[in-house]
Structures are given as structure tokens and as C-alpha cells.
Amino acid sequence: MADDHIKRKVLLLGDGAVGKTSLIRRFVVDKFSDDYITTIGTKVTKKDLRLESPGKAIDLTFMIWDVLGQKGYKNIQESAFQGAKGALLVYDVTRGETWRSLREYWLPHLQKVVGPIPFVVVGNKVDLARDRGRAQEELEDLEYTLGVKGFLGSAKTGENVEAIFLRLAKDVVAEAGPKVTDEVSEAEDATSELIEVTDQIIMDFCEVMGGHEAAMPIVRQQLTRAGVDVKAPTVDGLRLALEYLAETESSFRNAADVEASKTKRLAWLKEVS
Ligand code: G3D
Ligand code: MG
């Protein structure tokens, strides 16, 4: 019996509050919580899986990237997409606009950055669907137009959560399944300039720190401390966040570099305020 061990990065994408963080939590620790904490930046969770098939077993380590769902954070999102080998595209069955977003925003972006990779569509919160038959029809619409496998599921009840991740795991390992193709077209999205600047500042900080995984926990901490809401950042909040980020940087960079970064970021902020 030949055993392989492989490691793959996968993404959870979809609008804010569709249940991405809850799905990961359900899959990884089999829990559900009603507290809604907005994902700031990105968060990576590891999960080991064993895929058995006749005569062969594959040990797969999933690095599951939870990417903030707020539109407009293009730099963070697109840099988080780098190196991904698969994706779950999640919408909320009770909010039709999140279903459209997959086609109009998430898929075009994903495809632009990573090219064709396997993905699975998830209609989450099916426990709340008033009409399950209708939810199923909507899912089938999406399956048909995107040529993709989809599931209705619920992070709350756990329905289909295993099946969803396992399906993605199998497609990723086989590098088979439906791929993101260029049939989807990108729709223009209206983005607040302050969100663009927040995006730019966070990415600049990531570069200083040498990448998302080291930087994002600090970004989360300091933006929260400064009271910045990533869905609607304010100039005052961001100004404070810049101070806090500079403060943390000063423990490992020299003062002149820290000051130069801060001045640069303040200038971006001034341009839009
Ligand atoms: P996100 O990571 O995509 O932004 P979250 O979404 O996982 O943070 O979930 C957003 C809200 O939806 C949370 O509720 C969460 O509890 C709820 N939720 C997630 N999945 C399900 C589900 O399958 N069923 C139901 N009923 N609720 C779900 P609050 O109320 O805290 O906003
Ligand atoms: Mg989240």
C-alpha cells in the first residue's frame, strides 16, 4: 500500500456573514457558535485528512484560508489567493445577493489570480431556508451555469459539512472536478476609497512582516484595538491604527524605517480624507 502525504492550500470565499468562518469551525472542531466576529484580513486553519481508496491512502493536510468577505479588499484577497489549489465558494441561501456575488465578484477574481483550480459551491444556512425546494433549484441553477458541483449545507446543524470538504479534498487531490474558467465576467463594484486605503495599509504591513501568516494576527489585534470596522473604516480609526501598527513595528525595525512607513501610510490616508 503506497502512502502519500501532501499539503494543499484551499480558500473559503464569499460575502461577509455567509458562514465561512462557521463552516471551518464546524469542520475542524465540530462546533458552532452564534457570536459573530468579523474576520479581519485572513486566518489560516490546519486540518489533517485521510483519503482512502482501494490499494492506496493519501494523507492530506488542508491549510484552510478564511479570507475576509468584505468587497473592496482586493489586494488582501488577491494576495491570499496565491498558491491556492482549491476553493469553497459560499453563499447564504437566505440572501440572494450573496448568490450573485459568487458569479460577479468572487469567481472572476479567483480565476484572474490563480487560473483554473477545482472549486465547490456551498449554499449555507439551509436550516433557515423557508422553502427548501426553491433553495435546491437555485443551487442547481448555479451548478448548471458554472458547471460545478454544489451542496446545500448548514454550519449550524452540521448538515453536509463533512461531505463538502471531502468533495473538495478529492477534487484537489485528483486536480479534477470543475474548474474556475474564464466564462465568468467581472462586474464593476463600487468600493469606498477608505476601504482601498485600509487594504493598502494592511498589505504594506504584511510586506514588512514577511507575509500574511505573521502579519494578520497583529493586524487583527491592532485594528480591533483602534476600533476600526473593516466594513466601514473611518479616518480617525485608521489614523489610530497606524499609530498602533507603528508601535508594534518599532520592536523589530529601526526607528527611521518605522517612521518612514508611517508617513507613507498617512499620506495614503490624507489623499482620500
Ligand atoms: P463569515 O465568516 O462568512 O463572515 P460567519 O460568516 O461564519 O461569521 O457567520 C455569520 C453569521 O451567520 C453568524 O451569526 C453565524 O452564527 C451565522 N451562521 C453561519 N452559518 C450558519 C448556518 O448554517 N445556519 C445559521 N442559522 N446561521 C449560521 P450572527 O447572528 O452572530 O451574525
Ligand atoms: Mg468570517
pLDDT at 185: 44
**Residues whose CB is less than 8 angstroms from the CB of residue 103 and which lie 6 or more positions away in sequence, other chains included:** 142, 145, 146, 184
Same domain, 104 and 68: yes
Same domain, 210 and 242: yes
Domain that holds residue 94: 4-176
How far does CA 149 lie from the centroid of its chain? 19
Same domain, 27 and 135: yes
pTM score, whole prediction:
0.78
CATH of the domain at 49: 3.40.50.300
Instruction: Classify the C-alpha dihedral 127-128-132-138 as positive or negative.
Output: negative
Same domain, 42 and 168: yes
Element (H, E) at 152: strand 150-152
Which DSSP state fits 186? P
**CB 127 near ligand 1, within 6 Å:** yes
Same domain, 32 and 94: yes
* Nearest-angstrom CA–CA distance, 95 and 211: 34
Write the pLDDT tens digit of every residue in 242-256.
999 999 999 989 999
**CB 20 near ligand 1, within 6 Å:** yes
State the chain's mean pLDDT as an integer: 89
Same domain, 116 and 246: no
Same domain, 193 and 170: no
Instruction: Classify the C-alpha dihedral 204-205-211-213 as positive or negative.
Output: negative
Same domain, 29 and 71: yes
Percentage of the chain lying above the pLDDT 70 cut? 91
Name the domain count of the chain: 2
Domain membership of residue 181 (yes or no) is no
Query: Do the Cβ atoms of 33 and 155 come closer than 8 Å?
Result: no
Write the pLDDT tens digit of every residue in 207-235.
999 888 889 999 999 999 999 999 889 99
**CB 43 near ligand 1, within 6 Å:** no
Same domain, 38 and 124: yes
Q: Which of 18, 22, 35, 73 to mutate to test the pocket of ligand 1 (most atoms within 8 A of CB)?
A: 22
* Nearest-angstrom CA–CA distance, 162 and 159: 8
Domain membership of residue 73 (yes or no) is yes
Query: Do the Cβ atoms of 98 and 68 come closer than 8 Å?
Result: no
